[in-house]
């Protein structure tokens, strides 16, 4: 199959050749083919270097490596590791829990139980950090010639790459717990010698610092962004490149996946024209990098044989290409559309694997409901760290509700800003409380510990606070319906399970300050946390009511998406959350073109598997018709997405 561009020479991308780094990370928006690229690279490197050892690692909570290999045996010099971050954290707690409790016991007015409860619930992001520190340890120990990493969708991978900076306050809080002990030992003993607890903190800090150095070392590390030549994907990749530059993580090459062939097929021609427009945007906005193109294959790239041949189709995409014509706008087509959500629905979640079109269908649904139900106030919102609403709607959406149409607002909640606002309120309240204490009361060290208490908050508190903002707007009557454009499957499941953990943390936090209420009065932060507690109770009650809350699963007809959709719907049954509708999105329309016909046959097989596996779920087939962006085209899609009336 012909791919636009120059055929690869000299072995293709540099990361496949002798200059391959020790750490190779594939990342980008969900659904762009990161797993395929990572797995194909690992197999290629292992095949070219049989005398060396390689490891292929997944840091995505919704692992796909095994699905990509489809049961194929690995070469003897390649190891597959799907890192279980929670398991790594449990092992860390088991090994070092006593050390953490001993740190907590040293020298503040807080007793052992007070701090131990915070430590049990917090460890901010330490689950993912422990997993990634293991990767850096492999590199330091020279265990593998190359570690190839299939990362989570970009918003969550960014948080992991920022972890060296984010973990600093947590380590500082632990160090503050030891400060008074060190001072007293020096005061009464004349000197202080570092002990095991100091060595533990110094060792952990050193491990984090080594990880940061590896990530910034262009000799040992390379990040390879993977994208599709589609507006949403390219927009997110532009942001990704800015983040990588800010973090000083080296990038030299990009991969553009699933390019249509240059044929006489109208469907392929329209697809390719749109893609070439986006390739030009990639060169314009991300100059200085080699851009590799890969074709859209008629068969899904799964199994060792196809993966090992994957990079043979790579071609370097030149900066100059034919000037694309604007594709004709075809009307949307949907088979067996479901009825509109019930008028009783107050929360509608769009969920699924990254890159399947959750954002598009959420936006189209919001516009349809606003048109059909005048007088109903609807809020379309996102808590995903990698927001896509603005790009999909083709208009700016920020952290406050933006009016899109009569009765319809949109908001991309800044989760980190919500948490920072809480920390600032806490710092202000604490400053006033400390200033009101007797001037001769010495709280030098205790003050530092109290100032750092929020650095011991649980991972995910920021996203739950962002979610509570929307729930509060619903409870206030400002909106009647919330439509959530959710993070990809693994992180959505974690978010939906998070309110229970946050609720436990709130009880510990309130218990601590009730215990010391004669010393510390924190009216502002207490008011915010009481509101958060109320919002969580409302959210949990709402989720449990199938009349008022519903999840619409979105997927595509591939084997890997089928496996992840099964995980999502199983989680819905476990939580439980009503999931009555499954949209099978981006289906290839019927055509005489050999490629389109092959794609349609492949997709039809998977569609039958969906029907057989989930017979009680209403399933709609949404055909690919370009990428609907902007209110007009999204409204057209919304009109076709559900039954009339």
CB 94 within 8 A of CB 120: no
Higher-pLDDT residue of 22 and 154 is 22
Taking alpha carbons only, the member of 492, 499, 510 closest to residue 464 is 499
Q: Which residues on adjacent β-strands are paired with residue 6?
A: 316
Run of H or E including 489 = helix 489-515
Q: Which of 288, 316, 344 is the last residue of a domain?
A: 316
Q: Which of 282, 316, 350 is the last residue of a domain?
A: 316
Higher-pLDDT residue of 211 and 440 is 211
pLDDT the model gives residue 596: 92
In a domain, 358, yes or no: yes
Helix axes 163-189, 126-140, angle to 10 degrees: 90
Share of the chain above pLDDT 70, in %: 79
In a domain, 437, yes or no: no
Higher-pLDDT residue of 207 and 340 is 340
Q: 363: exposed, middle or buried (C-beta count within 10 Å: 0-12, 13-18, 19+)?
A: buried
Question: Looking at the 3D structure of the chain, how many domains does it have?
Answer: 2
Cα(193)–Cα(186) distance, rounded to whole angstroms?
9
Residue identified by tokens 């899904």 is 300
Q: Are residues 54 and 201 in the same domain?
A: yes
Q: Are residues 144 and 232 in the same domain?
A: yes
Q: Are residues 281 and 340 in the same domain?
A: no
Cα(124)–Cα(130) distance, rounded to whole angstroms?
11
Model confidence at 36: pLDDT above 80:
yes
Tokens of 78: 């390649």
CATH number of domain containing 474: 3.40.50.300
pLDDT the model gives residue 182: 65
Cα(483)–Cα(383) distance, rounded to whole angstroms?
11
| Model pLDDT for residues 353-411, shown as the tens digit of each residue | 888 899 999 999 999 999 999 999 999 998 777 778 998 999 999 889 999 999 999 99
In a domain, 327, yes or no: no
Q: Are residues 306 and 357 in the same domain?
A: no
In a domain, 44, yes or no: yes
In a domain, 364, yes or no: yes
Grouping H, G, I as helix, E, B as strand and the rest as coil, residue 24 is strand
Q: Are residues 341 and 290 in the same domain?
A: no
Q: Are residues 563 and 589 in the same domain?
A: yes
Model confidence at 454: pLDDT above 80:
no
pLDDT the model gives residue 508: 72
Signed CA dihedral, 315, 319, 322, 326: sign only: positive
pLDDT the model gives residue 187: 52
Q: Are residues 287 and 371 in the same domain?
A: no
Cα(280)–Cα(113) distance, rounded to whole angstroms?
59
Q: Are residues 405 and 535 in the same domain?
A: yes
Q: Span 587-616, mean pLDDT?
A: 93
pLDDT the model gives residue 461: 76
pLDDT the model gives residue 599: 93
Among left, alpha and beta (phi > 0; psi -120 to 50; other), residue 448 is alpha
Q: Are residues 517 and 566 in the same domain?
A: yes
Q: Are residues 278 and 402 in the same domain?
A: no
| Domain housing 189 | 6-103+109-316
For residue 531, count other CB atoms closer than 10 A to its CB. Answer: 16
CB 222 within 8 A of CB 250: yes
Q: Are residues 299 and 411 in the same domain?
A: no
Residue 421's pLDDT band (boundaries 50, 70, 90)?
confident
Q: Are residues 169 and 257 in the same domain?
A: yes
pLDDT the model gives residue 323: 46
In a domain, 136, yes or no: yes
pLDDT the model gives residue 118: 58
Cα(596)–Cα(588) distance, rounded to whole angstroms?
7
Q: Which of 263, 289, 316 is the last residue of a domain?
A: 316
Q: Span 245-257, mean pLDDT?
A: 93
In a domain, 323, yes or no: no
Model confidence at 20: pLDDT above 60:
yes
Q: Span 33-56, mean pLDDT?
A: 94
In a domain, 124, yes or no: yes
């Amino acid at each position: 199959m012909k791919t636009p561009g120059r055929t690869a020479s000299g072995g293709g991308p540099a990361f496949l050749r002798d200059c391959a780094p020790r750490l190779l990370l594939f990342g980008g928006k969900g659904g762009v083919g990161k797993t395929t690229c990572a797995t194909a690279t690992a197999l290629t490197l292992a095949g070219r270097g049989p005398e060396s050892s390689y490891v292929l690692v997944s840091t995505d909570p919704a692992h796909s490596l095994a699905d990509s290999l489809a049961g194929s045996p690995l070469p003897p010099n390649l190891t597959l590791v799907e890192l279980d971050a929670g398991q790594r954290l449990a092992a860390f707690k088991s090994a070092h829990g006593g050390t953490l409790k001993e740190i907590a016991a040293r020298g503040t007015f807080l007793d052992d139980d007070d701090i131990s409860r915070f430590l049990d619930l917090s460890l901010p992001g330490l689950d993912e950090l422990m997993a990634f520190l293991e990767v850096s340890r492999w590199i330091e120990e020279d265990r593998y010639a190359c570690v190839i990493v299939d990362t989570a969708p970009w918003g969550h991978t960014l948080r992991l790459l920022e972890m060296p900076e984010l973990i600093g306050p947590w380590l500082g809080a632990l160090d503050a717990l030891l400060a008074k002990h060190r001072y007293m030992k020096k005061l009464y003993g004349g000197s202080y010698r570092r002990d095991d607890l100091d060595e533990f903190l110094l060792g952990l800090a050193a491990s984090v610092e080594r990880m940061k150095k590896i990530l910034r070392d262009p000799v040992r590390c390379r990040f390879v962004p993977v994208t599709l030549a589609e507006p949403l994907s390219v927009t997110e990749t532009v942001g990704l490149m800015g983040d990588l530059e800010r973090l000083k993580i080296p990038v030299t090459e990009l991969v553009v996946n699933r390019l249509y062939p240059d044929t006489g097929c109208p469907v392929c021609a329209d697809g390719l024209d749109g893609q070439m427009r986006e390739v030009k945007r990639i060169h314009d906005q991300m100059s200085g990098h080699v851009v590799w193109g890969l074709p859209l294959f008629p068969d899904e790239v799964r199994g060792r044989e196809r993966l090992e041949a994957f990079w043979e189709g790579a071609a370097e995409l030149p900066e100059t290409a034919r000037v694309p014509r604007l594709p004709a706008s075809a009307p949307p087509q949907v088979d067996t559309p479901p009825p509109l959500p019930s008028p009783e629905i107050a929360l509608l979640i769009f969920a699924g694997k990254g890159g399947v079109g959750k954002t598009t269908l959420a936006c189209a649904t919001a516009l349809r409901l606003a048109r059909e139900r005048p007088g109903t106030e609807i809020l379309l919102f996102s808590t995903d760290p990698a927001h896509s609403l603005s790009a999909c709607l083709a208009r700016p959406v920020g952290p406050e509700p933006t009016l899109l149409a009569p009765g319809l607002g949109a908001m991309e909640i800044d989760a980190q800003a919500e948490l920072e606002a809480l920390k600032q309120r806490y710092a202000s309240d604490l400053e006033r409380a400390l200033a009101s204490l007797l001037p001769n009361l010495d709280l030098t060290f205790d003050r530092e510990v109290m100032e750092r208490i929020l650095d011991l908050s649980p991972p995910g508190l920021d996203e739950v606070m962002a979610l509570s903002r929307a729930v509060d707007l619903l409870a206030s009557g400002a909106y009647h319906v919330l439509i959530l454009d959710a993070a990809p499957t693994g992180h959505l499941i974690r978010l939906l399970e998070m309110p229970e953990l946050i609720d436990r943390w709130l009880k510990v936090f309130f218990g601590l300050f009730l215990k010391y209420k004669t010393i510390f009065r924190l009216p502002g932060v207490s008011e915010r946390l009481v509101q958060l507690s109320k919002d969580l109770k409302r959210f949990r009650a709402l989720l449990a009511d199938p009349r008022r809350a519903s999840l619409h699963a979105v997927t595509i007809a591939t084997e890997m998406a089928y496996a992840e959709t099964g995980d999502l719907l199983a989680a819905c049954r476990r939580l439980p959350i009503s999931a009555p509708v499954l949209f099978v999105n981006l289906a290839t329309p019927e055509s005489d073109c050999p490629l389109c016909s092959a794609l349609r046959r492949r997709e039809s097989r998977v569609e039958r598997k969906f029907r057989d596996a989930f017979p009680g779920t209403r399933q709609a087939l949404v055909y690919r018709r370009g990428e609907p962006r902007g209110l007009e085209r999204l409204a057209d899609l919304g009109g076709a997405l559900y039954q009339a009336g």
